[in-house]
Amino acid sequence: MAMEVKKRQTWLSILTIEFLFVLLLLFALIIFIYAARMVFIVENSGFDQNVFNAIRPLINSGLTGFMLFITFLGKHDLLIPLNFILIAFFIYRKEKWFATRIAALSLSSLLLMFVLKFYFQRERPDLPVIGDVSGYSFPSGHALISVVFYGMFIHMIWHEVKLKWLRIALIILLAILILLIAFSRVYLRVHYASDVIAGIAVGFIWLVLSLNIIHRIEKRFVARRALKAEGLEK
């Protein structure tokens, strides 16, 4: 009886987590569609302008220096080399599935960013704080890639770090970092608020779907290897 109750509780927890992620995916998709509709169909820029107006009094040299540092932590010039270092590290550790996840997520998210930017082709805001910035604006590449890269770390920490307090603390710190990187893009006036919101939404969708697909492929691969091993033993 106790075993049945325990199994039922385990299944309920799994179903609850999966259901929560499905809801979050749907919410992120709705947010992205709504942001794209407001920008490109309705052409309502009131929200973006209101955010710029709210941030303008906060701008000063000290905070700008901090935001430049924060935005660098989400720049592909930093994250691409870090991805290669992590891939090499996990290959050296013979943890090829971690290396596979990193390679697949980093390359696919970068490609997704360029495809979306080229498709929407939104011009950057006028008068950026850091001078001229090239490229299209929607969605924010910093927000998208940061969610995927640091979200991947959150995924690994959740599964690998045993100490509960440390796991929670690291996840909170990384979540705050993602939000700061997104905010820095609006503060520096190189993206509209709608750009970073869309970038966060797309990044989350891509992260969850990619991890789910990779996990399913990994399970099938392991199952096939197990069947082959059993066949050889017989």
* Residues 96-126 pLDDT 10s: 777 888 888 888 888 999 999 999 988 888 8
Q: Give me the pLDDT at residue 126, please.
A: 83
Cα maximum dimension of the chain = 74
pTM for this model (two decimals): 0.83
Q: Which domain holds residue 96?
A: 2-233
CA distance 159 to 228: 28
Average pLDDT over every residue of 191-209: 92
Q: Give me the pLDDT at residue 147, please.
A: 92
> Can you give 100-152 as a three-state secondary structure string?
HHHHHHHHHHHHHHHHHHHHHCCCCCCCCCCCCCCCCCCCCHHHHHHHHHHHH
Residue-averaged pLDDT of the chain: 83
CA distance 11 to 17: 10
Cα end-to-end span (Å), the chain: 37
Average pLDDT over every residue of 45-60: 89
Average pLDDT over every residue of 197-209: 92
Q: Give me the pLDDT at residue 230, please.
A: 61
CA distance 34 to 40: 10
Distance of CA 80 to CAs 74, 84, 190, Å? 10, 7, 21
Q: Give me the pLDDT at residue 1, please.
A: 47
Q: What are phi and psi of 133, to 5 degrees?
A: -130, 135
Average pLDDT over every residue of 83-96: 83
Report whether 107 contacts 84 (CB < 8 A).
no
CA distance 172 to 22: 21
In the chain, pLDDT over 70 holds for what percent of residues? Answer: 87
Number of domains in the chain: 1
- Write the pLDDT tens digit of every residue in 122-150: 888 888 877 767 788 899 988 999 999 99
Q: Give me the pLDDT at residue 2, please.
A: 46
